[in-house]
């Protein structure tokens, strides 16, 4: 009886990048055979050629590699609070695991967490959302930003990204098929959006579908006042097809006299066109819990929930239980005390930078935990090389401003201990003085 015999060699279809030849096995009574393979790797998605890796992630990975090799590195590159989450949050996570809350939840999140989020936004921000249909809990705020963009725009559209920007914004725009349009801001304005410049930009880009609004800002720490936000909203009234993606993840870290950060969705006429992003990483030091949320009118929330259902499904059930505790059990004084501590660190960094020749901060940042000083007098403005040499010679890790759309600057995260900041500022001063 005839039989088909294959050797242990892999039998593959002869192929090239543009053709594929079908294979039909022959029959034989005794001999074995194999087929040669043209050594061609399957191509990757062409979209990847447009996407830049995150400089923050690259620097952080290099730091971890150096530390694994036994080197001691002072790192101010990652936006992560140095304090632990509140004890009640940790206890809630433990109780959830022991109590059996370890299974899938609804894609949009548990009812308890969505209710807590809606109640918090209503009481603190003056914005009312239906917890059933207008809140979507995700695996971190970054996922919520991406899904918000994916729901609001697509191929052929444009996304207005004010610079300096969080590096993921323009890359996410490319991932959804849209084109990022960079809106330059001025250092003399504290890198805040100029309403007239925004108006001009929108007029010149009729395909714009989304405005990215990070307030407070990463990487500048700038905070748009209620007055300025109102002026921006007035401009947007002329462009009703533009959706505002308001990334407000740092809104609990504001150092102005009133300590307030107005929610863009609370402004007249802006609720129906605003997708608000927030979470627990910065306010409650819950970065590893990967828990964020999106709050938006039902049509946007429903669209993002459909997307999330096909991408990751629900956020961690344990993290969600911790999130409920963060909103319902953490005393306001805990959050207020963290703001006081962060402000002290900010003031210290600004004080030390002011002593360094060739380093300037035109407008002190009033939020988040970043400073973006101008260091363009060194290295002919090559901030990337400056950071590489600084890491090599002084074991101090900062992130080049070029990756934020701000060449000639470096981003300093002061979300670390005061001792680490003192070491970092000494290293930076000594390095610059040696040039």
So what's the pLDDT on residue 55?
74
So what's the pLDDT on residue 196?
98
Element (H, E) at 307: helix 298-311
Q: Evaluate whether 275 touches 248 at the Cβ level (below 8 Å).
A: no
The stretch 419-423 carries a mean pLDDT of 97
So what's the pLDDT on residue 54?
77
pLDDT digits (tens, 9 = 90+) for 164-191: 999 999 999 999 999 999 999 999 999 9
So what's the pLDDT on residue 41?
87
pLDDT digits (tens, 9 = 90+) for 360-383: 999 999 999 999 999 999 999 999
So what's the pLDDT on residue 29?
47
So what's the pLDDT on residue 63?
86
So what's the pLDDT on residue 57?
77
Helices 317-328 and 111-120 pack at an angle, to 10 degrees, of 30
Q: 25 pLDDT exceeds 70?
A: no
DSSP letter at 249 equals T
So what's the pLDDT on residue 362?
92
Q: 10 pLDDT exceeds 50?
A: no
Better-scored residue on pLDDT, 179 or 59: 179
So what's the pLDDT on residue 31?
46
Q: Percent helix, strand and coil across the chain, each rounded to 5?
A: 40, 15, 45
- 3-state secondary structure labels for all residues of 42-54: CCCCHHHHHCCCC
Q: 100 pLDDT exceeds 80?
A: yes
Q: 294 pLDDT exceeds 60?
A: yes
The pair of structure tokens assigned to 382 is 């090559």
**DSSP string for 372-389:** --B-TTSGGG-HHHHHHH
Q: Evaluate whether 367 touches 191 at the Cβ level (below 8 Å).
A: no
Q: 24 pLDDT exceeds 50?
A: no
CA distances from 12 to 9, 24, 25, 371 (A): 9, 11, 11, 56
Q: Evaluate whether 323 touches 281 at the Cβ level (below 8 Å).
A: no
Q: For residues 31 and 95, give the distance between their C-alpha atoms in angstroms, rounded to a whole number.
A: 65
Q: 12 pLDDT exceeds 80?
A: no
**41-50, 51-60, 118-127 — which one is most confidently predicted on average?**
118-127
Confidence of residue 79 (pLDDT cuts 50, 70, 90): confident
The residue whose two tokens read 């004890």 is 87
The stretch 112-136 carries a mean pLDDT of 98
The stretch 306-331 carries a mean pLDDT of 98
Provide the sign of the torsion angle of the four alpha carbons 161, 79, 278, 350, taken in this order.
Answer: negative
Share of the chain above pLDDT 70, in %: 91
The stretch 286-308 carries a mean pLDDT of 98
Pick from 101, 127, 106, 103: nearest CA to 305: 106
Of the chain, the end-to-end C-alpha distance in Å amounts to 83
**pTM passes above 0.85:** yes
* Burial degree of 392 (CB within 10 A; 0-12, 13-18, 19+): exposed
Q: 139 pLDDT exceeds 70?
A: yes
So what's the pLDDT on residue 19?
38
Confidence of residue 40 (pLDDT cuts 50, 70, 90): confident
So what's the pLDDT on residue 38?
59
Share of the chain above pLDDT 90, in %: 83
Helices 317-328 and 87-98 pack at an angle, to 10 degrees, of 140
pLDDT digits (tens, 9 = 90+) for 322-347: 999 999 999 999 999 999 999 999 99
The pair of structure tokens assigned to 431 is 């390095």
Q: Pairing mode, if any, of strands 292-295 and 274-279?
A: antiparallel
Mean predicted lDDT score pLDDT of the chain = 91
**DSSP string for 275-296:** EEEEESTTTS--GGG--EEEE-
So what's the pLDDT on residue 290?
98
So what's the pLDDT on residue 60?
80
* Burial degree of 240 (CB within 10 A; 0-12, 13-18, 19+): exposed
């Amino acid at each position: 009886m005839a039989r088909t015999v294959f050797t242990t060699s892999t039998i593959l279809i002869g192929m090239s990048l543009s053709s594929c030849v079908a294979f039909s096995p022959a029959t034989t009574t005794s001999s074995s055979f194999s087929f040669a393979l043209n050594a061609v790797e399957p191509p990757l998605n062409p979209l990847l050629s447009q996407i830049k890796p995150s400089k923050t992630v690259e620097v952080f990975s290099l730091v971890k590699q150096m530390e694994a090799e036994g080197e001691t590195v002072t790192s101010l590159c990652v936006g992560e609070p140095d304090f632990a989450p509140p004890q009640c949050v940790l206890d809630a996570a433990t109780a959830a695991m022991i109590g059996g809350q370890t299974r899938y939840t609804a894609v949009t999140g548990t009812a308890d967490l969505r209710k807590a989020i809606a109640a918090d936004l209503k009481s603190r921000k003056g914005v009312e959302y239906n917890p059933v249909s207008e809140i979507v809990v995700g695996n971190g705020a970054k996922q919520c930003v991406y899904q918000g963009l994916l729901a609001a725009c697509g191929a052929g559209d444009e996304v207005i990204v004010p610079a300096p920007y969080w590096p993921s914004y323009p890359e996410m725009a490319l991932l959804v098929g849209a084109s990022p349009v960079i809106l330059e801001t001025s250092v003399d304005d504290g890198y805040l959006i100029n309403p007239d410049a925004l108006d001009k930009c929108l007029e010149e880009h009729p395909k714009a579908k989304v405005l990215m609004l990070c307030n407070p800002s990463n990487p500048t720490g700038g905070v748009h006042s209620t007055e300025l936000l109102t002026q921006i909203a007035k401009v947007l009234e002329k462009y009703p097809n533009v959706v505002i993606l308001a990334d407000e993840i740092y809104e609990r870290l504001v150092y102005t006299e009133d300590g307030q950060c107005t929610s863009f969705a609370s402004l007249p006429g802006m609720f129906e066109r605003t997708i608000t992003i927030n979470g627990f990483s910065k306010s409650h030091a819950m970065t590893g819990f990967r828990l964020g949320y999106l709050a938006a009118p039902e049509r946007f929330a429903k669209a993002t929930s459909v997307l999330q259902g096909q991408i990751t499904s629900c956020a961690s059930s344990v993290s969600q239980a911790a999130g409920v505790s963060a909103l319902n059990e953490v005393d306001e004084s805990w959050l207020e005390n963290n703001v006081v501590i962060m402000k002290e660190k900010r003031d210290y960094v600004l004080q030390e930078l002011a002593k360094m020749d060739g380093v300037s901060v035109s407008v002190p940042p009033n939020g988040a935990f970043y400073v973006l000083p101008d260091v363009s007098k060194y290295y002919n403005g090559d901030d990337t090389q400056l950071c590489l040499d600084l890491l090599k010679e002084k074991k101090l890790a900062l992130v080049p401003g070029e990756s934020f759309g701000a060449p000639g600057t470096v981003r300093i995260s002061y979300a670390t201990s005061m001792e680490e900041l003192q070491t970092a500022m000494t290293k930076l001063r000594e390095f610059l003085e040696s040039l």
